[in-house]
Amino acid sequence: MNATSLDKDILFVSMVLNAWDTYTKRVTDFLDKISDQGLLTQVAPDRNRVYYLIGHLTVVNDRMLPLLGIGDTHYGEQEAMFLTNPDNKELSGPTPEVLRQNWKDSLERLSKGFKQFSTDEWFSKHSAVSEQDFEKEPNRNKLNIIINRTNHMASHYGQLLLVKEK
């Protein structure tokens, strides 16, 4: 590999991680500003509450740990509440304080894991694809998970932006 193509590999990884960092920072800033009462606001009439969306994004982050091979999930018991079912105000979940902390912890764990990866590891398969399928579809690599999850986060961030606190 010549220097130019090696540089390009490193550059590409940094471009993807920069976009991830941009959106995690935007969500974190939003969460730091909103009140506990604001968490209970729906982003639009009959749509998800902020509370649900933050829990949802946290659980999706959490599931990236085994997918990327950097750890086990920590919030498996919250998947029914925030992932497999729609928002339900009747159910009681984590307190606002715990919800906020879980979001930050989920990012911290990912960030630590990301730092361990070499460029080649970023282009290796994630755990939800078989060796055979990966040979045919080499885009199903770890870095692609970050691209897709950043877009997923951006789509919910757009919804969070609709909330106005009085």
Give the interface with a copy of itself as residue ranges (CB under 8 A). Answer: 1-2, 4-9, 11-12, 14-16, 18-19, 22-23, 43-47, 123, 138-139, 141, 143-144, 147-148, 150-152, 154-159, 161-162, 164
Q: How far is the CB of 93 from a copy of itself (least distance, A)?
A: 22
Q: How far is the CB of 14 from a copy of itself (least distance, A)?
A: 6
Q: How far is CA 87 from the centre of its chain?
A: 18
Q: How far is the CB of 129 from a copy of itself (least distance, A)?
A: 14
Q: Phi and psi dihedrals of 42, rounded to 5?
A: -85, 145
Residue with tokens 């550059």: 11
Burial of residue 58 (CB within 10 Å: 0-12, 13-18, 19+) is buried
Closer to a copy of itself by CB, 9 or 105: give it.
9
Closer to a copy of itself by CB, 15 or 98: give it.
15
Q: How far is the CB of 65 from a copy of itself (least distance, A)?
A: 21
What is d(CA 30, CA 160) in angstroms, rounded to the nearest whole number?
8
Closer to a copy of itself by CB, 92 or 155: give it.
155
Torsion region of 163: left, alpha or beta (phi above 0 gives left; psi -120 to 50 gives alpha): beta
Closer to a copy of itself by CB, 74 or 152: give it.
152
Name beta bridge partners: 141.
Answer: 125
